[in-house]
Amino acid sequence: MAPLPSKTIFPIIFLLFTIFSLSKAELDAHYYDQTCPQLEKIISETVLNASMHDPKVPARILRMFFHDCFIRGCDASILLDSTATNQAEKDGPPNISVRSFYVIDDAKAKLELACPRTVSCADIIAISARDVVAMSGGPYWNVLKGRKDGRVSKASDTINLPAPTFNVSQLIQSFAKRGLGVKDMVALSGGHTLGFSHCSSFEARLHNFSSLHDIDPSMNTEFALDLRKKCPRPNNNGDAGQFLDSTASVFDNDYYKQLLAGKGVFNSDQSLVGDYRTRWIVEAFARDQSSFFKEFATSMLKLGNVRGSENGEVRLNCRIVN
Protein backbone atom coordinates (compact mmCIF):
# COMPACT_ATOMS: atom_id res chain seq x y z
CA MET A 1 0.00 0.00 0.00
CA ALA A 2 1.42 3.40 -1.00
CA PRO A 3 2.21 5.80 1.90
CA LEU A 4 -0.29 8.60 2.47
CA PRO A 5 0.87 12.00 1.20
CA SER A 6 1.82 14.48 3.94
CA LYS A 7 -1.13 16.72 3.00
CA THR A 8 -3.47 13.85 3.99
CA ILE A 9 -1.66 12.88 7.18
CA PHE A 10 -1.94 16.28 8.87
CA PRO A 11 -5.78 16.47 8.69
CA ILE A 12 -6.03 12.88 10.02
CA ILE A 13 -3.74 13.66 12.96
CA PHE A 14 -5.65 16.88 13.64
CA LEU A 15 -8.96 15.00 13.51
CA LEU A 16 -7.68 12.34 15.96
CA PHE A 17 -6.41 15.07 18.28
CA THR A 18 -9.80 16.83 18.11
CA ILE A 19 -11.70 13.62 18.88
CA PHE A 20 -9.36 12.88 21.83
CA SER A 21 -9.76 16.43 23.16
CA LEU A 22 -13.54 16.23 22.99
CA SER A 23 -13.67 12.77 24.61
CA LYS A 24 -13.59 14.60 27.94
CA ALA A 25 -16.78 16.60 27.40
CA GLU A 26 -16.42 20.33 27.77
CA LEU A 27 -18.09 21.98 30.74
CA ASP A 28 -21.08 24.16 29.84
CA ALA A 29 -23.00 26.85 31.75
CA HIS A 30 -26.24 25.49 30.22
CA TYR A 31 -25.54 21.79 30.90
CA TYR A 32 -28.69 21.26 33.00
CA ASP A 33 -31.02 23.71 31.23
CA GLN A 34 -33.22 20.89 29.87
CA THR A 35 -32.67 18.17 32.47
CA CYS A 36 -32.83 20.20 35.72
CA PRO A 37 -33.74 23.85 35.11
CA GLN A 38 -34.49 24.51 38.82
CA LEU A 39 -31.00 23.37 39.88
CA GLU A 40 -29.46 26.75 40.75
CA LYS A 41 -32.53 27.93 42.67
CA ILE A 42 -32.57 24.77 44.80
CA ILE A 43 -28.85 25.02 45.60
CA SER A 44 -28.83 28.75 46.36
CA GLU A 45 -31.85 28.46 48.71
CA THR A 46 -30.20 25.53 50.52
CA VAL A 47 -26.88 27.34 50.92
CA LEU A 48 -28.49 30.61 52.01
CA ASN A 49 -30.65 28.85 54.60
CA ALA A 50 -27.64 26.96 56.02
CA SER A 51 -25.55 30.16 56.14
CA MET A 52 -28.27 32.00 58.05
CA HIS A 53 -28.22 29.26 60.71
CA ASP A 54 -24.42 28.95 60.80
CA PRO A 55 -22.24 31.90 59.70
CA LYS A 56 -19.23 29.57 59.29
CA VAL A 57 -20.85 27.83 56.31
CA PRO A 58 -19.67 30.22 53.53
CA ALA A 59 -15.95 29.94 54.41
CA ARG A 60 -16.25 26.16 54.79
CA ILE A 61 -17.99 25.67 51.43
CA LEU A 62 -15.42 27.84 49.63
CA ARG A 63 -12.59 25.89 51.26
CA MET A 64 -14.31 22.62 50.36
CA PHE A 65 -14.24 23.61 46.67
CA PHE A 66 -10.53 24.52 46.79
CA HIS A 67 -9.57 21.35 48.61
CA ASP A 68 -11.66 19.17 46.30
CA CYS A 69 -10.26 20.59 43.07
CA PHE A 70 -6.64 20.58 44.25
CA ILE A 71 -6.46 16.81 44.85
CA ARG A 72 -7.92 14.90 41.90
CA GLY A 73 -9.60 17.71 40.04
CA CYS A 74 -13.13 18.92 40.85
CA ASP A 75 -14.70 15.47 41.29
CA ALA A 76 -16.31 15.62 44.78
CA SER A 77 -13.76 13.11 46.12
CA ILE A 78 -13.67 15.27 49.29
CA LEU A 79 -17.28 14.21 50.03
CA LEU A 80 -16.69 10.45 50.11
CA ASP A 81 -16.76 8.89 53.58
CA SER A 82 -13.96 6.69 54.85
CA THR A 83 -14.60 2.94 54.90
CA ALA A 84 -13.16 0.03 56.87
CA THR A 85 -10.47 -0.38 54.19
CA ASN A 86 -9.88 3.22 53.10
CA GLN A 87 -9.30 6.53 54.85
CA ALA A 88 -10.86 9.18 52.61
CA GLU A 89 -9.74 12.77 51.84
CA LYS A 90 -12.17 14.35 54.31
CA ASP A 91 -10.27 12.60 57.13
CA GLY A 92 -6.85 13.82 55.96
CA PRO A 93 -5.23 16.34 58.40
CA PRO A 94 -5.87 19.52 56.30
CA ASN A 95 -9.55 18.62 55.86
CA ILE A 96 -10.51 17.86 59.47
CA SER A 97 -11.79 21.43 59.87
CA VAL A 98 -13.62 21.73 56.51
CA ARG A 99 -17.00 20.47 57.80
CA SER A 100 -20.47 21.61 56.60
CA PHE A 101 -20.71 18.59 54.27
CA TYR A 102 -24.35 18.35 55.37
CA VAL A 103 -25.15 21.42 53.22
CA ILE A 104 -24.14 19.54 50.06
CA ASP A 105 -26.03 16.44 51.28
CA ASP A 106 -29.15 18.57 51.79
CA ALA A 107 -28.94 20.12 48.32
CA LYS A 108 -28.32 16.69 46.77
CA ALA A 109 -31.36 15.17 48.52
CA LYS A 110 -33.60 17.97 47.17
CA LEU A 111 -32.12 17.61 43.67
CA GLU A 112 -32.68 13.84 43.69
CA LEU A 113 -36.38 14.54 44.30
CA ALA A 114 -36.57 17.25 41.61
CA CYS A 115 -34.39 15.62 38.94
CA PRO A 116 -33.23 12.11 39.93
CA ARG A 117 -29.80 10.76 38.89
CA THR A 118 -28.95 13.96 37.04
CA VAL A 119 -26.82 16.46 38.99
CA SER A 120 -23.30 15.50 40.09
CA CYS A 121 -22.06 16.23 43.60
CA ALA A 122 -19.03 17.93 42.02
CA ASP A 123 -21.29 20.44 40.29
CA ILE A 124 -23.18 21.07 43.53
CA ILE A 125 -19.91 22.03 45.27
CA ALA A 126 -18.90 24.34 42.39
CA ILE A 127 -22.27 26.13 42.34
CA SER A 128 -22.38 26.36 46.14
CA ALA A 129 -18.89 27.94 46.20
CA ARG A 130 -20.06 30.63 43.76
CA ASP A 131 -23.21 31.19 45.84
CA VAL A 132 -21.40 31.68 49.16
CA VAL A 133 -19.07 34.23 47.55
CA ALA A 134 -21.95 36.17 45.94
CA MET A 135 -24.16 36.14 49.06
CA SER A 136 -21.21 37.42 51.14
CA GLY A 137 -20.85 40.49 48.93
CA GLY A 138 -18.41 39.10 46.36
CA PRO A 139 -18.65 38.62 42.59
CA TYR A 140 -21.14 36.41 40.75
CA TRP A 141 -20.17 34.28 37.76
CA ASN A 142 -21.86 31.66 35.59
CA VAL A 143 -20.60 28.29 36.79
CA LEU A 144 -19.66 25.86 34.03
CA LYS A 145 -21.25 22.47 34.66
CA GLY A 146 -21.07 18.85 33.56
CA ARG A 147 -18.50 17.44 36.00
CA LYS A 148 -18.65 13.81 37.03
CA ASP A 149 -18.07 12.41 40.51
CA GLY A 150 -14.89 10.46 41.15
CA ARG A 151 -14.70 6.99 42.69
CA VAL A 152 -11.36 7.37 44.51
CA SER A 153 -10.61 9.34 47.68
CA LYS A 154 -7.44 8.90 49.77
CA ALA A 155 -6.50 10.84 52.90
CA SER A 156 -2.81 10.47 51.97
CA ASP A 157 -3.40 12.63 48.87
CA THR A 158 -4.13 15.67 51.05
CA ILE A 159 -0.36 16.10 51.43
CA ASN A 160 -0.59 17.73 47.97
CA LEU A 161 -2.64 20.68 49.25
CA PRO A 162 -0.74 24.00 49.59
CA ALA A 163 0.21 24.44 53.24
CA PRO A 164 -0.12 27.62 55.35
CA THR A 165 3.66 27.45 55.86
CA PHE A 166 4.45 27.69 52.11
CA ASN A 167 6.58 30.46 50.63
CA VAL A 168 5.79 32.10 47.28
CA SER A 169 7.95 29.73 45.22
CA GLN A 170 6.17 26.72 46.73
CA LEU A 171 2.78 28.33 46.16
CA ILE A 172 3.59 29.14 42.51
CA GLN A 173 4.73 25.56 41.92
CA SER A 174 1.66 24.06 43.59
CA PHE A 175 -0.80 26.21 41.60
CA ALA A 176 1.12 25.70 38.34
CA LYS A 177 0.53 21.93 38.62
CA ARG A 178 -3.18 22.73 38.34
CA GLY A 179 -2.68 25.03 35.34
CA LEU A 180 -3.00 28.19 37.44
CA GLY A 181 -0.67 31.19 37.10
CA VAL A 182 0.77 33.63 39.63
CA LYS A 183 -2.16 36.05 39.34
CA ASP A 184 -4.62 33.17 39.81
CA MET A 185 -2.76 32.14 42.94
CA VAL A 186 -2.84 35.62 44.47
CA ALA A 187 -6.52 36.08 43.53
CA LEU A 188 -7.59 32.70 44.92
CA SER A 189 -5.61 33.35 48.12
CA GLY A 190 -8.08 36.22 48.54
CA GLY A 191 -10.67 33.57 49.38
CA HIS A 192 -9.19 33.94 52.87
CA THR A 193 -11.29 37.11 53.13
CA LEU A 194 -13.88 34.63 54.43
CA GLY A 195 -12.81 32.45 57.28
CA PHE A 196 -11.10 31.57 60.51
CA SER A 197 -7.99 29.60 61.41
CA HIS A 198 -7.16 27.63 64.52
CA CYS A 199 -3.89 28.46 66.27
CA SER A 200 -2.16 25.28 65.08
CA SER A 201 -1.91 26.65 61.52
CA PHE A 202 0.08 29.76 62.45
CA GLU A 203 1.42 29.49 66.01
CA ALA A 204 4.93 28.64 64.78
CA ARG A 205 5.14 32.30 63.68
CA LEU A 206 4.45 33.48 67.24
CA HIS A 207 6.83 31.44 69.42
CA ASN A 208 10.53 30.56 68.89
CA PHE A 209 10.25 31.53 65.22
CA SER A 210 14.02 31.38 64.61
CA SER A 211 17.34 31.63 66.43
CA LEU A 212 17.25 35.40 65.91
CA HIS A 213 13.53 36.17 66.32
CA ASP A 214 10.93 34.90 68.75
CA ILE A 215 8.17 36.28 66.48
CA ASP A 216 8.14 36.24 62.67
CA PRO A 217 9.61 39.68 61.80
CA SER A 218 7.32 40.02 58.77
CA MET A 219 4.35 40.35 61.16
CA ASN A 220 2.99 43.62 62.50
CA THR A 221 4.28 43.59 66.12
CA GLU A 222 1.04 44.68 67.77
CA PHE A 223 -0.92 42.12 65.70
CA ALA A 224 1.55 39.35 66.62
CA LEU A 225 1.33 40.14 70.34
CA ASP A 226 -2.46 40.06 70.14
CA LEU A 227 -2.31 36.64 68.44
CA ARG A 228 0.06 35.38 71.15
CA LYS A 229 -2.60 36.20 73.75
CA LYS A 230 -5.16 34.21 71.75
CA CYS A 231 -2.72 31.34 71.15
CA PRO A 232 -0.60 30.93 74.30
CA ARG A 233 1.74 28.03 74.94
CA PRO A 234 0.53 25.64 76.17
CA ASN A 235 -2.85 26.21 74.55
CA ASN A 236 -5.66 24.19 76.09
CA ASN A 237 -8.43 25.78 74.02
CA GLY A 238 -8.91 23.77 70.82
CA ASP A 239 -11.29 26.40 69.44
CA ALA A 240 -8.84 29.31 69.79
CA GLY A 241 -7.71 31.09 66.65
CA GLN A 242 -8.06 34.15 64.46
CA PHE A 243 -10.28 35.45 61.65
CA LEU A 244 -8.28 35.75 58.42
CA ASP A 245 -9.18 39.39 57.85
CA SER A 246 -11.00 42.10 59.80
CA THR A 247 -14.30 41.64 57.89
CA ALA A 248 -14.41 37.84 58.02
CA SER A 249 -18.06 37.41 57.02
CA VAL A 250 -17.83 39.83 54.07
CA PHE A 251 -16.17 38.97 50.77
CA ASP A 252 -14.07 42.06 50.03
CA ASN A 253 -10.46 43.17 49.43
CA ASP A 254 -9.69 43.79 53.10
CA TYR A 255 -7.49 40.66 53.11
CA TYR A 256 -4.97 42.40 50.82
CA LYS A 257 -5.01 45.58 52.90
CA GLN A 258 -4.27 43.47 55.97
CA LEU A 259 -1.30 41.84 54.19
CA LEU A 260 0.20 45.25 53.36
CA ALA A 261 -0.13 46.17 57.06
CA GLY A 262 1.78 43.03 58.11
CA LYS A 263 -1.38 41.35 59.41
CA GLY A 264 -1.47 38.18 57.33
CA VAL A 265 -2.31 35.23 59.58
CA PHE A 266 -0.58 32.48 57.59
CA ASN A 267 3.02 32.57 56.41
CA SER A 268 1.68 31.70 52.94
CA ASP A 269 -0.47 34.85 53.05
CA GLN A 270 2.17 37.26 54.36
CA SER A 271 4.81 35.91 51.97
CA LEU A 272 2.81 37.37 49.05
CA VAL A 273 3.92 40.85 50.17
CA GLY A 274 7.58 39.96 50.59
CA ASP A 275 8.14 38.65 47.04
CA TYR A 276 8.46 40.92 43.99
CA ARG A 277 6.53 38.42 41.84
CA THR A 278 3.37 38.83 43.91
CA ARG A 279 3.57 42.10 45.86
CA TRP A 280 2.44 44.23 42.90
CA ILE A 281 -0.70 42.07 42.53
CA VAL A 282 -1.48 42.38 46.27
CA GLU A 283 -1.09 46.16 45.96
CA ALA A 284 -3.35 46.28 42.89
CA PHE A 285 -6.10 44.24 44.60
CA ALA A 286 -5.82 46.30 47.82
CA ARG A 287 -6.27 49.46 45.72
CA ASP A 288 -9.09 48.25 43.48
CA GLN A 289 -11.71 45.82 44.78
CA SER A 290 -13.44 45.53 41.40
CA SER A 291 -10.16 44.34 39.85
CA PHE A 292 -9.86 41.68 42.58
CA PHE A 293 -13.46 40.56 42.05
CA LYS A 294 -12.94 40.23 38.28
CA GLU A 295 -9.73 38.24 38.68
CA PHE A 296 -11.20 36.06 41.44
CA ALA A 297 -14.18 35.06 39.27
CA THR A 298 -11.86 34.31 36.33
CA SER A 299 -9.56 32.21 38.50
CA MET A 300 -12.47 30.31 40.08
CA LEU A 301 -13.62 29.34 36.60
CA LYS A 302 -10.09 28.13 35.79
CA LEU A 303 -9.88 26.18 39.05
CA GLY A 304 -13.29 24.69 38.35
CA ASN A 305 -11.94 23.43 35.03
CA VAL A 306 -9.35 21.20 36.72
CA ARG A 307 -10.85 17.89 35.68
CA GLY A 308 -11.26 14.63 37.56
CA SER A 309 -11.04 11.09 36.21
CA GLU A 310 -12.69 10.22 32.91
CA ASN A 311 -14.69 7.27 34.27
CA GLY A 312 -16.74 9.34 36.72
CA GLU A 313 -20.39 8.94 37.64
CA VAL A 314 -23.32 10.90 39.06
CA ARG A 315 -23.48 9.70 42.67
CA LEU A 316 -26.93 9.14 44.19
CA ASN A 317 -25.48 9.82 47.64
CA CYS A 318 -22.51 12.19 47.77
CA ARG A 319 -20.88 10.20 50.59
CA ILE A 320 -20.61 6.84 48.80
CA VAL A 321 -19.87 5.62 45.28
CA ASN A 322 -22.80 4.07 43.41
Question: What does the pLDDT read at residue 98?
Answer: 84
Write phi, then psi, for 243 (nearest 5 degrees). -70, 150
Q: In whole angstroms, what is the distance from residue 37 CA to residue 145 CA?
A: 13
DSSP string, 225-257: HHHHHHS-SS---TT-EEESSTTTTS-SSHHHH
Per-residue pLDDT of the chain (322 residues; tens, 9 = 90+): 555 555 555 555 554 444 433 335 689 999 999 999 999 999 999 999 999 999 889 999 999 999 999 999 999 999 999 999 999 999 998 888 788 999 999 999 999 999 999 999 999 999 999 999 999 999 999 999 999 999 999 999 999 999 888 999 999 999 999 999 999 999 999 999 998 877 877 887 888 888 888 888 888 888 888 888 888 887 777 777 777 777 878 999 999 999 999 988 888 899 999 999 999 999 999 999 999 999 999 999 999 998 877 789 999 999 999 9
Question: What does the pLDDT read at residue 9?
Answer: 54
Q: Which residues, including other chains, have CB under 8 Å from residue 154's CB and lie 6 or more apart? A: 86, 87, 88, 89
The residues with which 83 forms a beta bridge, in sequence order, are 86
Catalytic residue among 67, 198, 207, 213: 67
Question: What does the pLDDT read at residue 59?
Answer: 92
DSSP state at residue 26: P
Q: In whole angstroms, what is the distance from residue 168 CA to residue 89 CA?
A: 25
DSSP string, 158-189: GGGSPPTT--HHHHHHHHHTTT--HHHHHHHH
The answer to whether 67 is a known catalytic residue is yes
Contact 32, 39 (CB under 8 A): yes
Q: Is 133 exposed, middle or buried (0-12, 13-18, 19+ CB in 10 A)?
A: buried
Chain Cα centroid distance, residue 263? 22
Which among 248, 267, 268, 245 is positioned nearest to 258, based on CA atoms? 245
The helix/strand/coil state of 286 is helix
